[in-house]
Chains A and B, each alone.
Chain A
Amino acid sequence: MKWKTLILLFLFSVLLIGCSEKTYEPREINAETDICKVCNMGITHEDYAAQLVFKNGDYEVFDDLGCLIEFMKDVDESEVGAAFIKSADGNEWLPVEEATYVYSKDYWTPMNYGVLAFSSKDAAEQYMKENSEGERLTYEQLYDFKWGIHH
């Protein structure tokens, strides 16, 4: 009898873990072990990393925004809980729909796609002032963007 209750309790807790996650939080990147789901590169430059949370609580991490978009194109949208991109200053995870994007061939990213994310338009303007001028992109435009090298 005791065993049965124990097993039931265990299954119940598993179910709880499975169901309780309604809000999606970005997880921390582990530079030692995390590799990009798409291109397999290790995520040694965390400031450019991106990640996706599935509704079932699984995570996929990416080394560059371009890899995330590549992955999003093929994934079943109904399974996706949220997607995040690190802001260019490396301070915070931004939901991909809310970030401001700027592209310039002079910006370096791990895959050299050259698209950076910012928390606000001001932050983007500021960055462009300090570095070189870039082209503003909306989140929707990312899906038509030609990811590749632009030297």
Chain B
Amino acid sequence: MRSIILHIAFFAALIGFVHEAEAGTDFQQLIDQAEEGDVIHLSKGTYEGNFIIPKGITLIGDGNAVFKPKNPKEPVITVNGANHVTIQGIKVQTPGTGMVIKDSNDIKLSNLIMNGVFSGIDVYRTNGIAVEKTTIAGNGENLGKKGNGISFYDSSGITAKNNDIAHVQDGIYLENAKDISVLKNKVENGRYGTHFMYSEDAEVRDNVYKKNVTGLMIMMTENVSLSRNDISYQDGFNGTGITLYEVKNIDIQNHTISGNRVAISVQKSDDTNISNNILQMNQTAVEAIRSGGSQVKKNYFVGNLVNVRSDMNGIQLKENYYDDYAGIDIDDDGIGDEPYVALQSFGQWMVRKPVYQYYVEAPSVVLLNQIDQQTNKTSKQLLVDENPVTKFETDRGIQWKLYWPQFILGFILTIACIVIWRRSVLT
């Protein structure tokens, strides 16, 4: 162990001076005196001020160094025009913005903790920026009075990984950004989990989005691969798991999307590819508006109220599994012998007039859907899957497993009722 520390110290000494900063010292002065490549260790304590880092230095805190602003309207730490800056292991407490990175290159931020902030980290015009293992919790204000967790404007070479963000407007916001990796983050109780605007070339993988207005909002953006994200409970008035608006070349694969108002909403996007996802227990699984060319292939629709709804343009359905498919598979090739028609009059009405949503899965609508199932078989224009898959491997079978309290309660209740009944009837 000691040798490792020695090695680090030796290594640090090679690239520059290692400073020890203590609370109460003029920290800005320390920064100003530091040379390119210096490492500053921050000990426990409170550092108050609005600090500006104009050069490539490394700040390392042990997790107990707390930064507070002198002027809360300004960011606590600003990195401006610097190359190779690393900041890790510090806490930032401010009602305003935690950190701003401007016009810089190769910035690494990790293990930061920010609580009650308006916005966490704003990045402008920066090349090569990584934010990892950072926790950001916003203030308790209404959505309009919140900033974003981490925002990237006009930047490229972006990595956001293993961050935990809650109660902000947009968890991770990207505008006019390029070459983006969003991995293993968790965003809860915000407006949009991750929000792309005018961006391109991104990978979004293994993230968790829960209880936001929209999990993934992707607008006017190109070349994004979404995979293995866990998107659930976006069930507010306008909740959606994933919303695409005017996008090109987006792949949505291997997701589990559960309990949302709408799981995936595709709008004005003609070449989206949605495949191998499990869409379960959503009020509406797929909604398509002016996106007739997009493709929904090999997905599993389980327990949704409405599987697919669209405007007149429809959406391409291929080889999906639908749990309400009523056809049979005589030749046992795993493909149903007759097409599946996802079209429901009611679903289409809901797209046109939101007022109809009141009747979602009302008794009358349930019956209407049953009738639709029969009559729509003849109209094979819209939302038809010619080759519905009939097999779905679930690990949830019915298993014997005794749960004593409920069993006994049920037993007593049943016996008591039967006894009462017999006595009432016979005497």
Contacts and interface: CB of A to CB of B under 8 A. Distances in A.
Chain A in direct contact with chain B (Cβ < 8 angstroms): yes
Q: Name A's interface SS.
A: loop
A44 B175 contact: no
A106 B220 CA distance: 19
B198 A44 contact: no
B197 A40 contact: no
Interface in A13-44: 31-33, 35, 39-42, 44
A149 interface: yes
Given A31-B143, A44-B143, A44-B191, A148 B169 contact: no
Interface in B190-223: 191, 197-198, 213, 217, 219-220
A149 B191 CA distance: 22
B154 A151 contact: yes
Nearest to A32: B237
Nearest to B213: A42
Given A33-B237, A46-B144, A149-B220, A39 B245 contact: yes
A42 B267 contact: no
B238 interface: yes
A56 to B, nearest CB: 12
Interface size class of B (residues with CB under 8 A): 20 to 34
Given A31-B144, A35-B238, A149 B176 contact: yes
Nearest to B195: A41
A121 interface: no
A1 to B, nearest CB: 29
B163 interface: no
Interface size class of A (residues with CB under 8 A): 10 to 19
Interface string A115-151: 0000000000000000000000000000000001101
A112 B153 CA distance: 12
Contacts of A40: 238, 240, 243, 245, 265, 267
Contact of B198 (A39, A41, A149): A149
B198 A112 contact: yes
B220 A44 contact: no
Interface of B: 142-144, 154, 169, 175-176, 191, 197-198, 213, 217, 219-220, 237-238, 240, 243, 245-246, 265, 267
Given A40-B238, A44-B143, A44-B169, 17 more contacts: A31-B142, A32-B142, A32-B143, A39-B219, A39-B246, A41-B217, A42-B143, A42-B238, A44-B144, A44-B191, A46-B144, A111-B197, A112-B198, A149-B197, A149-B198, A149-B220, A151-B198
